[in-house]
Amino acid sequence: MGDAQSMSVERSINAYARARGVIAGGVNSSVRAFKAVGGSPVFVKSGSGATICDLDGHEYIDYVLSWGPLLLGHAHPAVVKAVASAAARGTSFGAPTEAETELAELICAMVPSIERIRFTSSGTEASMSAVRLARGYTRREKILKFSGCYHGAADPFLIAAGSSALTLGVPNSPGVTRGTAADTITVPYNDRDAVSEAFASNAGEIAAVIVEPYAGNMGLVLPKPGFLSHLRDLCARDRTLLIFDEVMTGFRVARGGAQEREAVRPDLTLLGKVIGGGLPVGAFGGREDVMSYLSPDGPVFHAGTLSGNPVAMAAGVATLRIVRDDPQLYGRLEVLTGLLTAGLGEILSKHGVAHQTARAGSMWGLFFAEEPVADLASAMKSDTALYAKYFHAMLGLGIWLAPSQFEAAFVSAAHTTRDVERTLSAADAAMRAMAASEASR
């Protein structure tokens, strides 16, 4: 591990300057620019198991894991072999392959609410396609979403959005039309009364409720008991479709996702991240009668040149076969994540730092906040300046965290108890260094 005060990232700095000459903002996803924590972004050269290595040769224990997809860790041998084999046969055909069916069968077998599925190339595409389908099926126009939940970068979802839109302080993005905003009802996450009032004010007009069952894009915020079942009841009563955005939680918190853990069955589910094994994949699926409204069988249009790309399908199949065949996988991940969050909590308490932790399966979150975090308003009370200092201190000690307070973190099957011990040691050292720095000012 490196030293928080002396770690050189000269090659990353030069790489960023080069990127800014040809890439807008120097990055291809906003949060990567380190705007929320300051400094110049670190460029990654390689990854293996639970670690990544930057251009300057520094190694880090990785808790970002490409923002969630790498359930098995970096460059898992089975995934690498599957990708290489598929690529050797051809990278894209624009025609059906059996790999698409095999991945679909694996998903449908493990997620009971999904009877039929369609693949896309990203979670954003899956989100916008599912909403179009919901509108076509219900013949309604309005959707209801929750402040701080992020469903990709399509216009309807950038109203009070989370993730990098929240990080950059522009949750209502310029370029989203008034008409789009008018069709999007936004209420606080975990607020049952607000949802009930929205349904009462828009009876018979809401096509779908879309929600992250475990919100992971304002930090990890878990649902209060009964919140998700309340959504299910309201949607059933008003003939509104309930869409669970499990792009992040799908195969991450349980074999059947958050819906398995919470015993709430949505009408449609969005997937991505883990199902691609680290390659670009999204999907949406659900009830057969709803999915039958998609073209070519139904009137709602959906298409995509690289949907079901054979290389991505191969990576997904390799990943989900391991998920299917390892009955102890999620138990191990749950234990390891619990050890990590409990240890971090003890260290921060020892140093007198106000904090909140959350975990579900192999997802976890840490807020520098005085009060429990249950929604966007309480998440925004977090001490982001303190998080920025903590982030850089941990980075210098070889721990790779999200460059934003408002992102979930992850543990992979490649992480070990030794990795957790090293992380906790780094966290204690980071706190001591931060305290010493403040004392010397």
pLDDT tens per residue across span 20-48: 999 999 999 989 999 999 999 999 999 99
Looking at residue 173, what is its pLDDT?
Answer: 61
- Cα separation, 246 vs 236, whole angstroms: 20
Question: Is 193 marked active-site?
Answer: no
Percent share of the chain, pLDDT over 90? 88
Looking at residue 182, what is its pLDDT?
Answer: 74
Contacts of 328 (CB under 8 A, 6+ apart): none
pLDDT tens per residue across span 124-148: 999 999 999 999 999 999 999 999 9
Question: Is 381 marked active-site?
Answer: no
For the chain, report the end-to-end CA distance as a whole number of angstroms.
Answer: 26
Looking at residue 210, what is its pLDDT?
Answer: 97
- Cα separation, 261 vs 248, whole angstroms: 14
CA nearest 208: which of 296, 144, 293?
A: 144
Question: Is 245 marked active-site?
Answer: yes
CA nearest 37: which of 308, 359, 326, 401?
A: 401
| Selected catalytic residue, list 273, 330, 419, 428 | 273
319-353 CB burial, b ≥16 within 10 A, e <16: bbebbeeeeebbeebbebbebbbebbeebbeeeee
Looking at residue 160, what is its pLDDT?
Answer: 55
CA angle at 256 for the pair 104 and 31, rounded to the nearest 5°: 85
What does the block give as tokens for 386? 């303190």
**Where do you find CATH 3.90.1150.10 in the chain?**
10-63+328-439
**Where do you find CATH 3.40.640.10 in the chain?**
77-325
Looking at residue 2, what is its pLDDT?
Answer: 45
Looking at residue 174, what is its pLDDT?
Answer: 66
| Selected catalytic residue, list 62, 183, 245, 428 | 245
**Which pTM value belongs to this model?**
0.93
For the domain covering 77-325, report its CATH number.
3.40.640.10
- Cα separation, 136 vs 130, whole angstroms: 10
| Selected catalytic residue, list 16, 63, 137, 150 | 150
For the domain covering 10-63+328-439, report its CATH number.
3.90.1150.10
- Cα separation, 92 vs 397, whole angstroms: 42
Cα separation values, 120 from 247, 272, 335, 352, Å: 12, 9, 33, 46
Contacts of 412 (CB under 8 A, 6+ apart): 49, 50, 62, 65, 70, 71, 72, 73, 333, 362
Q: Strand, helix or coil at 345?
A: helix
All residue ranges of the chain with pLDDT < 70 are: 1-6, 153-175, 441
Biggest CA–CA distance in the chain, Å, is 70
